[in-house]
Amino acid sequence: MGCVVLAFLVLTLVFTWPLGARLTTSLCGPPGDNYYFAWLVGWYEKALFGLHRLPLSVPQLNFPQGWSLAQNEATPAMVAIALPLSVLDGPVLGYNVALFVTFVLSGLGVYLWVLRLTRSRAAGLVAGVLFAFCAYRFRQPGHLNLMGTQWLALWFMSLHDVLRGPVRTKGIALAALFLGLIALTSLYYLYMTLLLSVVFVALYVWPDRHAWPNGLWRRLALVGLAALPLLALALAPSLMLVRQGGLQPRALDDASFWSASPTDFLFPPPSHLILGAWGALNYDRVLSWESTIYVGLVALLLAGVAIAPRGCLSRKRLVQCLALTALVAVVLALGTDLHWRHQPVTVPAPALLQRWFPSGRAPIPLPGYLLFRFLPLYAQMRVWMRYGILVNLFVSVLAGVGLAWLLQRVGRRWARIVAVVALALALVDLYPGLMQLSRISGRPVDDWLADQPGQGAVVQFPLDQCTLPTFTYYTLVHGKPFVGGFFAAGWPEQWRRIQPVLLGFPDQASLELLRGLHVQWICVDTRRFLAARRATMEALGLRLAYDSGGQSVWELRKEVGPK
């Protein structure tokens, strides 16, 4: 086991290079959501060990109303992995170490499941590589919650154990623990996992539908009851927010936009070592950070061996179950209606439906549309493409089963060569090239703000910068309350109310509003804000307190009025 863990760790260092040499200074990907999750690690540390309070509410963001982490995903399970290193040397190190852990544990989970199924370490290693280093994961390193895929294989492996027959209390407890950890990592993954678990269970027991195994439903109920405390802990804040109207259902057009195309599973990204040039010609970059769900040629070929009519007869039921569940995951990833290359596919609308489709053409609805309309809370999600990680999981396990069957058929003499070739081809198929990194740090203006006495609030102009994740991270540096800084697909009530007024800045109405928000410091990006407004700001009585590095800071005093 130690050698396998070491192998996944070495591969993680290679596939994410040069991150391993910059663990305390850089994050994967361009500046964006990764800054928010680095802030999240730092906020947990500050709240728990500095303020000695629960971190769910953040009074210093969306100030003075505050902001709830339930508006996004608080991902406490992932932050828990990051915290020890964050306490040691800052949130960037903690974030990156947690990222590394997801690669190792994701690969190890699939390895253990395939090893248990086939008793082939080589097949388990290849299957683990196919999952841990799949293209989806290399487009999501900025989302610490979505990188937490390590519990998925462990949950389905435990669920399979529960379905196969009597399990001890330990098996029930482990299954419940893994389901709870999924919930504490990503509510997206929890919802998708629960839906596909229902499919998985139904497909597995269908052959025995007339004589269901004794105790099956009792075992499943025990798993649910044992997982309930962790599920309640993960779900309670979001459910409370839904009751308060803070998490509104998505509009159908918005939901449709995030539907995957069938090509997303087949087209390799432009970074592919062999097919990159072809992929670049066909790759849709509009939603590339979400739509890169390429399963991989090697994974598909090996999974095909497992599914073949004459292959893996001893695992026929499980193979069919995995294959059909993967197919259901593909359909759900396609969202509410059929898309091709991220363009809706439409057909002429029947005459009876013309009143609902003025253009004369209608979309092709998919099962996801019914779930969106009728399944509770399903419409609160939006990115259906994320089902792609579960497609990758099931295909990777199938690939491991298929490879194990091949290794048995070729005999000992050729087995090692076939395994090495399969591993090499998998690595070539998945290698993403050198990882793009962003050096993360505060700005000189944040250091200056940190030195100013008091806790007067900060606002940033142009106003759109208030909602950027990078500016959320900057609050860790300056430590002042911030009018923006929230990270969510929907805007908080306060922001929806004040934004129209603040768009008129600088004027008297916006200054009066800022005073009501207890703002003292108005930061202005001088590279984007028109220099002509400087005279207006001075005329309104604002005092220039700082001007360097492309940022100026104006002090808003309570008694200030127009000159």
3-class secondary structure for 106-162?
HHHHHHHHHHHHHCCHHHHHHHHHHHHCCHHHHCCCCCCCCCCCHHHHHHHHHHHHH
Residue that is last in its domain, among 430, 456, 476: 430
412 and 543: one domain? no
Tell me which residue of 269, 296, 294 sits closest to 283, measured CA to CA.
Answer: 269
Residue 252 in tokens? 């159908």
Same domain, 196 and 152: yes
Contact 427, 129 (CB under 8 A): yes
Instruction: Check residue 563 and give its pLDDT.
Output: 44
Are the C-beta atoms of residues 114 and 419 closer than 8 Å to each other? Answer: no
Looking at the structure, do residues 347 and 251 belong to the same domain, yes or no? yes
Instruction: Using alpha carbons, list the distances in angstroms from residue 58 to 47, 204, 229, 350.
Output: 9, 44, 24, 52
Structural domains counted in the chain: 2
Distance CA 107, CA 126 (A): 9
Residue with tokens 């069957």: 405
Tell me whether residue 323 is exposed, middle or buried, using C-beta atoms within 10 angstroms of its C-beta: 0 to 12, 13 to 18, 19 or more: middle
* Residue 155 structure tokens: 């949950």
DSSP 521: E
CA atoms within a 13 Å half-sphere pointing along the CA-CB vector of 78: 32
Averaged pLDDT of the chain? 90
Choose one of 430, 465, 495: the last residue of a domain: 430
- Tell whether 171 and 308 lie within a shared domain: yes
211 touches 187 (CB < 8 A): no
Same domain, residue pair 105 and 244: yes
pLDDT at 356: 72
Which of 131, 151, 142, 336 shows the shortest CA–CA distance to 234? Answer: 151
Q: What's the length of the chain?
A: 563
Name which of 383, 339, 331, 340 is nearest 139 in CA terms. 383
Confirm whether 236 is domain-assigned: yes
Burial (0-12, 13-18, 19+ Cβ within 10 Å), 500 = exposed
Q: What is the dihedral of CA 289, 155, 210, 321, to 10 degrees?
A: 40
Report helix, strand or coil for 457.
strand
Residue 259 C-alpha from the chain's centroid: 16
Distance CA 377, CA 137 (A): 26
Q: Which residues of the chain, if any, have pLDDT below 50?
A: 560-563
Query: Rounded to whole angstroms, how far apart are CA atoms 68 and 62?
Result: 10
| Cα–Cα distance measured from residue 163 to residue 424, given in angstroms and rounded to the nearest whole number | 35
User: What integer pLDDT is reported at residue 95 of this predicted model?
Assistant: 97
Q: Evaluate the CA torsion angle 11, 16, 17, 21 in order and state its sign.
A: negative
Whether 152 is covered by a domain: the verdict is yes
Q: Are 43 and 82 in contact (CB under 8 A)?
A: no
Q: Is residue 67 part of a domain?
A: no
**Token pair recorded at residue 100:** 């590394």
Which tokens belong to 64?
């003075």
Judge whether 385 and 260 are in contact, CB under 8 Å: yes
Cα separation of 77 and 71, whole Å? Answer: 17
3-state secondary structure of 380: helix
Residue 521 included in any domain: yes
- 354 and 498 together in one domain: no
Same domain membership, residue 234 and residue 188 = yes
Asked whether the whole model's pTM tops 0.75, one would answer yes
Verify that 418 and 479 share a domain, yes or no: no
Q: Could you tell me if 407 and 459 lie in one domain?
A: no
The residue out of 378, 400, 430 marking a domain boundary is 430
Pair (386, 465) in one structural domain? no
Q: How far apart are CA 293 and CA 333, in angstroms?
A: 10
Q: For residue 506, is the peptide bond before it cis, meaning its omega torsion is within 30 degrees of 0?
A: yes
Each residue's pLDDT tens digit, 39-73: 999 999 999 999 999 999 999 999 999 999 988 88
Structural tokens at position 473: 């991270």
> Letter for the amino acid at 381?
M
**Residue 232, amino acid:** A
Does one domain contain both 332 and 460? no
The answer to whether residue 55 is domain-embedded is no
The residue segments making up the domain with residue 364 are 2-30+73-430
Q: Are 98 and 104 in contact (CB under 8 A)?
A: no
Q: Give dist(CA 303, CA 187) in Å, integer.
A: 29
In a domain, 398, yes or no: yes
In a domain, residue 40? The reply is: no
Residue 531: inside a domain: yes
At 211 the pLDDT is 59
452 and 381 within one domain: no
Q: Which two tokens stand for residue 495?
A: 């922001």
Closest by CA to 260, choosing from 439, 391, 138, 101, is 391
